[in-house]
Structure 1
Amino acid sequence: MGATSGAVWGRAEQQDFRSRVRGTLLGVAVGDALGAPVDGLGLEEIRQACGADGVVDLLPAYGRRGAVTHHTQLTLFSVDGLIRAQVRRDTGVWHPPTDLHRAYLRWAATQRDWGPDERRKDDGWLAREEWLYARRDPTRALLVGFGDATMGTLDAPRNPAERGPEAAARSAPFGLLVGWEPQLVVQLAVECAAQSHGHPAACLAAGAYAAVVHALARGSGLEDAVRYALGLLAVRPGHQPVTVALEQALGAVRQGPPTAERVEELVADGTAEGTVAAAVYCALVAEDVRQGLRLAVNHSGPSAAAGALAGGLLGALYGETALPPAWLAELEGRPTLLVLADDFAMEMTQGPALHGPAGSSPGWLARYPRGGACCS
């Protein structure tokens, strides 16, 4: 794995990056929350329940408006794992997929435990957030993939036939590693996807999505970012299903005004590549974030995943101020999301001042311990 760059960040660059990190994480969550109440429903069922325009506002799910699903939960633990990987690097150990796997095992503990276990001192602060101890319909692939300490790899993936979008939907944080070379960002996303969704198309869809976010976080426009991701994919065996799906998304933009039916065509049977392509299309044709997210969740496919994926793209593209304030006000876990986003931005821009040869911040290491424990 590669390292973050040693570039010095100016104040304006830091502020822009922080806004994009916040936008990405909040975008994932608000898109997830918008799609959660209708996830798995057919388009006609959605219209019957919500009216001809389908979902246009946050609706109750899991007992409240603005509730998020496992997509947001796992995205948060992706961020936690990336910060922990940076901190652990000081020890001479540098294998980010392992740190991400440990983070996902901490998520798995939230799915079976009643609440935080104070005896696990190396869990860090995120695993002690009580609101995360809630099952939000995680798929069997996730529960099996992180059901024990065995880490899936590209040579021995977990659930090798699993092609769903869940791994891609937790992969936006990889794209925020703006100091990394793009092909290394793709590699990390692909390797971490194999920990639960081992089908090559699911892994490469996660890698492609991370590459698009990476380009956006560095200031690219969305179409340029997608074309750049296609170039990175082209050298990887088995890329064809993902490449075809993304090219269909680009082509659909020129086929007239956006419709739910066009989104359905791209989503198809809800595979990772189809859902990522649909999210890309929704972000490309959106006049604003609100319209893009509404388009992303009104179809017969995985509405929460598509909303999360589209939200991550729009947030990375426009930053946090473009997200609908009324939706953010009701978003479950928003304080946690903001703290984690700011911690990630601080680690990526000022990490050496927080931990390293010159000294370490005890508070930072308490939040993101170097220890390797995860859960029993």
Structure 2
Amino acid sequence: MNLSTIPVPPGAPTLDRARGALLGLAVGDALGAPAENLTPEEIKARWGRVEGFVLDEPAGTDDTEYTIFSALLLIEHGHQLTPAQVEDAWRSRIANGAEGPFRGAGFSERSTVENLRRGLTAPQSAQHRHAWSDGLVMRAAPFGVFAAGDPLEAARLIAVDGSVSHEGEGIYGGMAVAAAVAVAVAGADLDTAVDAAFAVVPEDSWTARTLARALAAVREERHASDATTPQGREAVERAIRRAAVVRGYPWTDLAPEAVGLAFGALAAADGDFRTAVLTAVNMGRDADTTAAVAGAVAGALSGADAIPAAWRSAIGPAGGSCLAWVRGRHVLEVADALRQAAEPAAQIGGTR
């Protein structure tokens, strides 16, 4: 797939789609958090089927907080973002900063922090056993929002950010999501967003192969089953998991797997926000991240108004559970600031 063949709409990105991307991510994160690391069978035993928030006080996880962290770096440095600036922020605001009760988040984040504390610098700081994790995938949406309409630039910028914490497939997963969000915020449809994801990663990469298998599984199973019925819906979800999940591996945070599950959920839902996010949640695994990615892309495709009102209203400012530095920041304010940093304020105002 060549980026030059992807038809990116010429119109200006809208704040509604930018807000939809980040709010959709936060909603997916909060919906998926209780199901993280569970199997579909365990989810069914606990809740039947997740159809909304299962906690009285839903909240985002490291997915939302690191999204805000990366977004604020983009707002500060824009297209001139460098690995040194990212590394400096990790040192001052994470490694040497105040941590929330979850102590900085997942495997890739903790491994990166420890490498930085040992004195390693980028890209050596990303050389650890979890460099292929979905920790960059989860914070990819701001790069698409900032570089709306330019998937190649969105992919380049997230690779800069990821050079401190990830390598190889860990970076490819982030690039795929950032590129998809970039064209979706600009008004593209789901097929074009998928094409953009394929276009920015190596054709023979684990990420590209898993994404292709997941999408093929959706097409094949929907042809064989009636996906409008509960039985057909579950059959499609099983097919996506068979295509994307690495069985026998003890952890659920693989970047290629997360991309395959999230985009499989989007394809199964034809981009519909509610269906895509709930499909991702009910497939389990790293459910907060896969639902966050599905929510980011679906929100970018349709805008914030496509997110159910009760879900939108449940999202408040970040609580600082992992990164104390982002406490009090709201994803909607961050989305507005990203678009203002990317384009003149007058042009943004005309697209509301």
- The TM-score with structure 2 as length reference comes to 0.78
Task: Summarize the Cα distance change of 1:151–1:215 in structure 2 as closer, same or farther, 3 Å threshold.
Answer: farther
Count how many residue pairs are aligned between Structure 1 and Structure 2. 307
Q: What secondary structure does 2:238 align onto?
A: helix
Q: Does residue 62 of structure 2 align to residue 78 of structure 1? A: no
Number of the residue aligned with 2:230: none
Alignment of 1:118-133 (within 5 A): 133=100
Q: Percent identity?
A: 26
Distance, in Å, in 1 between the alignment partners of 2:103 and 2:26 is: 13
> Does 2:170 correspond to 1:202?
yes
Aligned counterparts of 2:17 and 2:120: Cα–Cα separation in 1: 31
Distance 2:17 2:83 in 1: 24
Counterpart position of 1:67: 59
Q: 1:58 to 1:179 in 2, by over 3 A?
A: closer
Paired with 1:179 and 1:327, the residues of 2 have a C-alpha distance of: 25
Report SS of the residue matched to 2:22: helix
How far 1:135 moved relative to its partner? Answer: 2.4
* Partner AA of 2:156 in structure 1: Q
Deviations 1:199-223 (A, max 9, x none): x111111111111111212222111
Task: Specify whether residues 326 and 266 from structure 1 end up closer, same or farther in structure 2 by C-alpha distance, changes over 3 A only.
Answer: farther
Query: 1:252-307, CA deviations, whole angstroms, 9 ceiling, x for partnerless residues?
Result: 23121343312322440342111111111211221531111110011241111111
What does residue range 1-376 of structure 1 map to in structure 2 within 5 Å? 13=12, 16-51=13-48, 54-60=49-55, 64-86=56-78, 94-105=80-91, 108=94, 112-113=98-99, 133-135=100-102, 138-147=105-114, 148=116, 153-154=122-123, 157-159=126-128, 161-178=130-147, 181-198=150-167, 200-234=168-202, 239-255=204-220, 256=222, 257=227, 258-259=233-234, 260-269=237-246, 270=252, 271-286=254-269, 288-333=272-317, 336-350=330-344
Whether the aligned pair in 2 keeps the contact of 1:23 and 1:312 (CA below 8 Å) is yes
Runs of 4+ in 1 over 6 A off after TM superposition: none
Shift of 1:152: 5.4
For residues 14 and 82 of structure 2, the distance between their equivalents in structure 1, rounded to whole angstroms, comes to: 22
Is the 1:40–1:300 contact (alpha carbons within 8 Å) kept by the matching residues of 2? yes
Counterparts in 2 of 1:194 and 1:101: CA distance versus 1, 3 Å? same
> Cα distance 1:84–1:166, how it changes in 2: closer, same or farther (>3 A)?
same
| Amino acid corresponding to residue 215 of structure 1 in structure 2 | V
Q: What RMSD over aligned residues (CA atoms) do the two structures have, in Å?
A: 2.9
Q: 1:186, 1:211 within 8 Å by CA — same for their partners in 2?
A: yes
State the one-letter code of the partner of 1:69.
T
Counterpart Cα distance in 2 of 1:243 and 1:188: 19
Matched AA of 1:284? A
Distance 2:309 2:86 in 1: 31
CA distance in 2, matches of 1:143, 1:234: 28
More deviation, 167-176/183-192: 183-192
Distance, in Å, in 2 between the alignment partners of 1:308 and 1:101 is 25
| CA spacing shift, 1:319–1:152, aligned 2, 3 Å | farther
Tell me, yes or no, if the aligned pair for 1:152 and 1:194 is still in contact at 8 Å: no
1:83-130 Cα deviation digits (max 9, x unpaired): 0103xx8xxxx34333334444465269844xxxxxxxxxxxxxxxxx
Using a 3 Å threshold, how does the CA distance of structure 1 residues 347 and 59 change in structure 2: closer, same or farther?
Answer: same
Q: Using the alignment, how far apart are the partners of 1:336 and 1:106 within structure 2? A: 21
Residues 234 and 153 of structure 1, relative CA distance in 2, 3 Å threshold: same
Amino acid at match of 1:185: A
Gaps of 5+ in 1: 1-9, 114-132, 354-376
Call closer, same or farther: CA 1:336–1:106 in 2, change over 3 Å: farther
* Structure 2 residues not aligned, in runs of 5+: 1-9, 228-232, 247-251, 319-328, 348-352
Shift of 1:346: 1.6
SS at 1:59's partner residue? coil
